[in-house]
């Protein structure tokens, strides 16, 4: 059985970054990844462009109940440190509005510099290694795969992602691993997703895009408003403005069991009532 200082469960963006950081601190690290390649979800992020960060990265853009946690995270690894991290790997960055992208406009460039750094640091990777369980031992932990292979380590970092993309490894398996060690898992709900609409007119406008201000109204009260693109689809609404308010809507429907959830769209946000 191989022995490491740290085993990182999940080889996505978080797992790779954690492994690099640990290795820079002279730890022997292995990444356990269920897919045949590391970082597959990175390749599709930002529609294949990989929006790495945002110039306005702060806790106010997250749900109020998460502000303290997010603020704590960003105080340790905020926008400047994110940009310094990638610049140190040789990745040139550029901005589009507040969004930060690789200058190549290709997510593959991001994954390439991360893979190169892992190789240079000699970070071990166990691919096709789907973790079936983690057990504590007198000397640390034993990480077991579904194929019967085991790894011994002093510390485990769980970065397995959520449930958003099972075909790329994010199937929620790591929730049960965390629960086994007493961690509480808050029910995951869809976020940054298109919306299904009851209104029949949406399919008539399928494919039409507009710049708008979209507002989520829950039980008659405005919850959140975002400006951006709105795309009419055959099933409802999509586009950046809708994706930005979808998290609050999803929580209202799935966790709070709210019955009256509406979306108000201002198609001319640049004009006030008097001008109209």
DSSP state string for 53-98: EETT-SGGGS-GGGHHHHHHHHHHS-HHHHHHHHHHTT--EEEETT
What pLDDT, in 10s, does the model give residues 145-184? 999 999 999 999 999 988 888 898 889 899 999 999 999 9
Residue 22: pLDDT band (50, 70, 90) is very high
The tens digit of pLDDT for each residue in 27-41 reads 999 999 999 999 999
7 forms beta bridges with 30, 156
* CATH architecture of the domain with range 195-266: Beta Barrel (2.40)
Q: What is the pLDDT of residue 72?
A: 96
What is the predicted pLDDT for the residue at 124? 98
Q: Which residues contact 45 (CB under 8 A, 6 or more apart)?
A: 13, 51, 107
List the domain boundaries for the chain: 2-50+106-179, 195-266
pLDDT of residue 139: 84
**Measured distance CA(63)–CA(225) in Å, rounded:** 13
State whether CATH 3.40.50.720 applies to domain 2-50+106-179: no
Q: Binning pLDDT at 50, 70 and 90, where does residue 268 land?
A: confident
What number of CA atoms fall less than 13 Å from residue 110's CA on the CB side?
31
Task: Give the distance, in angstroms, between the CA of residue 172 and the centroid of all CA atoms in the same chain.
Answer: 13
Are 2-50+106-179 and 195-266 equal in CATH topology? no
Can you give the pLDDT at residue 274? Answer: 80
* Burial category of 88 from C-beta neighbours within 10 Å (exposed 0-12, middle 13-18, buried 19 and up): exposed
pLDDT at 271 over 90: no
Task: Give the predicted TM-score (pTM) of the model.
Answer: 0.85
Check whether 130 has a pLDDT greater than 90.
yes
3 state SS of 39: coil
pLDDT at res. 134? 96
């Amino acid at each position: 059985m191989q022995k490491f200082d740290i085993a990182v469960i999940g080889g996505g963006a978080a797992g790779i970054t954690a492994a690099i950081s640990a290795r820079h601190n002279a730890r022997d690290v292995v990444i356990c990844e269920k897919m045949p390649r590391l970082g597959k979800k990175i390749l599709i992020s930002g529609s294949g462009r990989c929006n790495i960060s945002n110039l306005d990265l702060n806790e106010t853009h997250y749900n109020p109940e998460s502000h303290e946690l997010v603020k704590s995270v960003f105080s340790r690894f905020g926008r400047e440190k994110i940009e310094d991290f990638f610049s140190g790997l040789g990745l040139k960055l550029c901005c589009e509005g507040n969004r930060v992208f690789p200058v190549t406009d290709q997510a593959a460039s991001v994954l390439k510099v991360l893979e190169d750094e892992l190789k240079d640091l000699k970070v071990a990777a166990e691919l096709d290694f789907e973790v079936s369980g983690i057990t504590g031992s007198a000397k640390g932990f034993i990480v077991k795969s579904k194929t019967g292979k085991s790894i011994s380590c002093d510390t485990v970092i769980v970065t397995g992602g959520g449930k958003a993309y099972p075909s790329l490894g994010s199937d929620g398996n790591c929730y049960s691993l965390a629960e086994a060690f007493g961690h509480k898992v808050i029910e995951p709900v869809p976020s940054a997703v298109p919306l299904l609409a009851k209104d029949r007119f949406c399919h008539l406008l399928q494919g039409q895009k507009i710049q708008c201000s979209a507002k989520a109204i829950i039980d008659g009260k405005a919850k959140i408003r975002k400006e951006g693109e709105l795309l009419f689809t055959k099933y409802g609404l999509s586009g950046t403005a809708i994706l930005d308010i979808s998290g609050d809507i999803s929580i209202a429907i799935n966790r709070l069991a709210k019955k009256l959830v509406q979306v108000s769209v201002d198609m001319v946000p640049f004009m006030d009532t008097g001008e109209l």
